[in-house]
Amino acid sequence: MATHIDIALVPVGAVDPVVMGWLKGDLPGILTAAVEEFPPVPLPPRHFHRERNQYLADGLLADFAKFVTSPTALVLGVTEADLFSLPMNFVFGIANRGRALISTFRLRPEFYGVPSNPEVYHLRVFTEAVHELGHAMGLAHCEFPGCVMYFSNWIGDTDRKGPKFCFRCGKRIERLAEVGWE
């Protein structure tokens, strides 16, 4: 890609610094991007739904508008909170133009009753980050199960697809990086 992309990496609430380090190191290799980590922002109580014990992802994502500063800048929020977006019971992440948010809550192997596995967890975080950033740049879901833009209905989909774009989605990302996505 010839065009430079800037990614503002924003921890939302308390986020493991190791996870933030993974993303700072991994994202430039897939998106040819400069990644800058911003100070954490608190989880706003107004987006917490006590009856679900989850945060409304759409509300958190809307709060990121202030971070988008140019047509080639993306914001990636990272939280350890459990997220939902109606009508879904949960989401691994959510995005709209220029903004993305991922939750690590359901990406940990321990959530599924299996032993901790840092390599699996790292790959899941990276895959979901790339997926949501793809949406933030304007990509839709892909029908190819091996593409990062394939919809993850469950964690097995995330594990199968991995963090790479298929040829077609990769070409779309190159075009979008050239022209911007606003």
Per the CB < 8 A criterion, the answer to whether 98 and 136 are in contact is yes
Beta-carbon count within 10 A of 113 CB: 6
Q: Is 119 a catalytic residue?
A: no
Residue of 36, 80, 132, 178 marked active site: 132
Per the CB < 8 A criterion, the answer to whether 9 and 38 are in contact is yes
Report the Cα 47 to chain-centroid distance in Å. Answer: 18
Q: 1: which DSSP letter?
A: -
E strands, the chain, where?
5-12, 33-37, 48-49, 54-56, 73-79, 83-85, 88-91, 93-96, 99-103
What is the H or E stretch that residue 132 is in?
Answer: helix 118-136
Active-site residues, by number, are 132
